[in-house]
Homo-oligomer: A and B are copies of this chain.
């Protein structure tokens, strides 16, 4: 019980910090504010962590952990087509963004606002996750499944950019992540341009919006 409650306070410190980071950036997070939301005094945070930067770094690391766990879930399955395989990883990434706490969202939106020292410590973990995408795309490229002429790195950056942008407008309360993942995958995989003789994709016509747009990014 005692140990459980201790772990609980520590976890709630991270939860609250991640949420505030996601909405206000690292500098917008105050220790007194965090403590108040956790239900504790500000000085008590230093019983669990050595400094604010340590908390921030822990949030970033957990954000990566969530993404890697989601990735592993998709990688364990097998798929009839490469598009389905990529789609599963897109769905997993979106799951990390919206279905497993604020950590991944906090990482992606607040990383640039963190002190250089914290960023430097976290970069290797970011690179490792990024490398998973690069490896997947390289494998598809070598199998002749990708259009030639574009470096893998740019394909990865475009795909991740399109996915991460959903943080600015997708409302997980109202939206359907499966459908969103399918749409993004199809847009990147097949493109948005009509082709001679092309027909509408199978399945019901998509609804006007997949998730309410709260404040869409230009």
**Residues of A with Cβ closer than 8 Å to B?**
23-28, 64, 67, 82-83, 107-113, 119, 123, 126-127, 129-130, 144-151, 153-155, 157-166, 168-169, 183-184, 186-195, 198-201, 205-210, 213, 215-218
Contacts and interface: CB of A to CB of B under 8 A. Distances in A.
A146 to B, nearest CB: 6
Given A158-B165, A183-B154, A218-B126, A25 B23 contact: no
B168 A112 contact: yes
B165 A160 contact: yes
A187 B190 contact: no
Contacts of A144: 194
Given A26-B28, A119-B215, A216-B157, A165 B165 contact: yes
From A82, A110, A113, A155, name the one whose CB has the most chain B CB atoms within 10 angstroms.
A113
Contact of A150 (B126, B145, B163, B183): B183
A28 B129 CA distance: 28
Nearest to A68: B218
Nearest to A25: B25
A193 B190 contact: yes
A165 B198 CA distance: 30
A33 to B, nearest CB: 11
